[in-house]
Structure 1
């Protein structure tokens, strides 16, 4: 019986193979998960219906299972149809979830195309596609080192 809250068998199996510097993308419902991922990354679709499940729900489960040393978000655009003034509301949810998990890591906003490049590396092992409808909800976790 697992002690952490993540119980999805396929995700647990993939995370069990992750090592230091592996990356895991939790993608929102608009992310092009089929084409923007690392060459060895597996895709797990958890998009049941619009809004179910959310990126933050997946983040809570994943943070219960692995150490994380870095967290990147896709930087918001400042002009055009997807522009926002300030951080997207979902980032505050992430900050609270990260604090609640006892992790002392800040979100690192990364320019959109650089974010896609970061996801396209050999270190990217898993994309979890959600049905989150919030803009800029994509979040890329870098696996850290277990210290206990």
Structure 2
């Protein structure tokens, strides 16, 4: 029996198959899950009901499992960071990849974010029940 924090078989398999530079999308409940990533990307559905499973919970466990090199968020309607993104930034602030380097952050407006998520290096989408708007986060896997 696995005794690690991450137990979900599909997420474990997706992260194990992702190499340096691969990208993982943690998507909110409003994201177009069926068309918003390349066809070969794994899709893991954790969107049981509104609010469950929360995107922050997924991020916390993923960040504990792999090194995150960069995070790209969907900018809100004003071009800034939403409440969920500020939470993610706080959570990832304590995580480092490659020793002392901080996670690199950037934001994209909605249509540019969708385009970035459809790139061929996006290997997995984790659909959450997160209902707060602009709660999508695209993570680039790094190396220790």
**TM above 0.5:** yes
Structure 1's 44 and 139: CA in aligned 2 closer, same or farther, altered over 3 A? same
Structure 2 contact 96–103 (Cα < 8 Å) conserved: no
TM-score (norm 1): 0.87
Give the 3 Å change call, closer, same or farther, for CA 3–101 of structure 1 in structure 2: farther
How far apart in 1 are the matches of 2:92 and 2:2? 21
The alpha-carbon deviation at position 88 of structure 1 amounts to: 1.4
**Partner Cα separation in structure 2 for residue 37 and residue 16 of structure 1:** 19
Which residue of the partner structure matches residue 73 of structure 1? 73
The CA distance in 2 between the partners of 1:60 and 1:87, in whole Å, is 19
Number of residues paired by the alignment?
140
Cα distance in 1 between the residues matched to 2:138 and 2:71: 6
Runs of 4+ residues deviating >6 angstroms: none
User: Structure 2: which 5+ runs fail to align?
Assistant: none
Query: Which of the residues 87, 94, 98 maps onto 1:100?
Result: 94
- Kept in 2, the 8 Å contact 1:27–1:128? The answer is yes
Structure-to-structure mapping, 1:6-85, within 5 angstroms:
6-78=6-78
* 1:38-89 CA-partner distances (Å, limit 9, x unpaired): 23101110011110011111000100111111100001113xxxxx8x5311
The TM-score, its normalising length taken from structure 2, stands at: 0.89
Unaligned runs of 5+ in 1: 79-83
* Contact 2:69 2:104 (C-alpha < 8 Å) held by counterparts: no
CA 1:64 to 1:74, structure 2 compared with 1: closer, same or farther past 3 Å?
same
Residue 123 (str. 1) matches residue 116 (str. 2): no
